[in-house]
Amino acid sequence: MRRTAHVLVAVTSILTALVSATLPFRLNAASAGSGSAVDDSAFVEQLLFATPLKRFSTDAKNRIGPDGQAGDSWFDWSTDFCSAPLLGNTGRSFNFTEPCRRHDFGYRNTKLLDDRYGHGLYWNGAARKRIDLQFLADMKASCRVRSMLLVPTCLSWAYTFYGAVRTFGGP
């Protein structure tokens, strides 16, 4: 019985993730920036963990809010590209601009949710680790499109960036 419950939970989770990733996420205009913890948290979660990086980047550049309109000011879309303006990217062996943009969005908006709706509920060690793991996955995906000769160097930089955010990134 217990094993069956675990299997059902796993299958349900996988199906939910697959359906979420294939359907565009937009709240209705009435709830956009309404201050609803559930809606705001769902929007941030969707952008961080279920939206392809390319689409996230487009939405972030245009500040596409939960209502699907450009110019959203309810969420924090700013970025310093992982606090690494001096290192940036080499262009040839790695370019983590967009993974850094999403990582910054995750940190800033999880902290914002915490400030708005309850301290410790949104920004905590577990949330930070999950955002950092998504950052690593985004960087590794970025490395996979490089030439085979550059992949090892790119992955080395990805793990270096990941190690830095794990060491210096927060709670």
Task: Give the residue with greater pLDDT, 31 vs 72.
Answer: 72
Could you tell me the two tokens for 72?
């959203």
- Mean pLDDT on 147-162: 94
Kindly indicate the confidence band of residue 86, based on its pLDDT and cuts at 50, 70 and 90. Answer: low
Q: What is the pLDDT of residue 105?
A: 97
Q: What is the pLDDT of residue 110?
A: 96
Flag whether the pTM goes above 0.75.
yes
Return the closest-CA partner of residue 81 out of 55, 62, 108: 108
Reply yes or no on whether the pLDDT at 90 is more than 80: no
Q: What is the pLDDT of residue 44?
A: 97
Structural domain total, the chain:
1
Reply yes or no on whether the pLDDT at 119 is more than 90: no
C-alpha distance from residue 13 to each of 10, 18, 19, 39, 159 (Å): 5, 9, 10, 19, 28
Kindly indicate the confidence band of residue 80, based on its pLDDT and cuts at 50, 70 and 90. Answer: confident
Q: What is the pLDDT of residue 143?
A: 95
CATH classification at residue 15: 1.20.90.10
- Name the residue with tokens 């879309």: 77
Query: Could you list the residue range(s) of the whole structural domain that residue 103 is in?
Result: 2-168
